[in-house]
Amino acid sequence: MKKYTKNNITILCADNMRLMKDYKDNEFDLAIVDPPYGNNDAIGIQNSKSHCADRKNYKQFENKAPNVEYFKELFRVSKHQIVWGGNWFGLIGGYIFWNKNGTAFGEGEAAFCSKINSIRYFEYTWNGMIQGNMKEKEKRIHPTQKPVALYKWLLLNYAKKGDKILDTHGGSFSSAIACWQLGFEYVGIEIDEEYYENGVKRLKEFNQPVLPGVFSI
């Protein structure tokens, strides 16, 4: 297992199931996760050439949907959950729809959210080379990478000051950057060593300061 820390941020290269078994019940206040859906059409991956972030050897486990045991552990170790692709896993409850103004692979994505009983909406362009903030354009290092702005919006709306955040599928670690900038304690896990190393590099290079006085509670 590899480990990198930056202030209140910890990211690990490890198997998330093995780590979660060591966590206490409700150890995390909120889990924000983006597991593989287990369907190439669902996640828009036909081959590595279809994405900005190419990966020649796209490993089989990266597109294998988590099993029932994963969700049992996830819901055990976290008080609340936001699960991208929750509709593919049959999760019933409130949902967040991210309109990314997409085209070929869908106009947006949906996330189950245990904190709400309705459907909420967030718009941020993430379509090929076009991003919602072109002045601070993010480099794509993962085929299913999500923008930092999306995670910051989730945290500002569904987390509170002092919450401890878990991400079991770190990927590009956009979630880690958002938590670092907003001052959350965070644990992120990524099983693939290449993505982990790229995520560590990305976090090290992110030099924007922590935002003071963001939360009122």
Q: What is the dihedral of CA 39, 113, 11, 214, to 10 degrees?
A: 140
pLDDT band of 76, cuts 50, 70, 90: very high
Spatial CA neighbour of 184 closest among 146, 158, 207, 205: 158
Q: What does the pLDDT look like over 157-169, one tens digit per residue? A: 999 999 999 999 9
pLDDT band of 104, cuts 50, 70, 90: low
Q: Can you name the residues that pair with 78 across neighbouring β-strands?
A: 28
**Tokens representing 67?**
């099993």
Report whether 96 contacts 117 (CB < 8 A). no
Q: What is the dihedral of CA 153, 159, 163, 168, to 10 degrees?
A: -60
Is residue 50 predicted with pLDDT exceeding 50? no
Mean pLDDT, all residues of the chain: 86
Torsion region of 213: left, alpha or beta (phi above 0 gives left; psi -120 to 50 gives alpha): left
Report whether 77 contacts 189 (CB < 8 A). no
pLDDT band of 77, cuts 50, 70, 90: very high
Fold topology of 2-191: Rossmann fold (3.40.50)
CA 103 – CA 149 distance, rounded (Å): 20
Please give the pLDDT value at position 39.
59
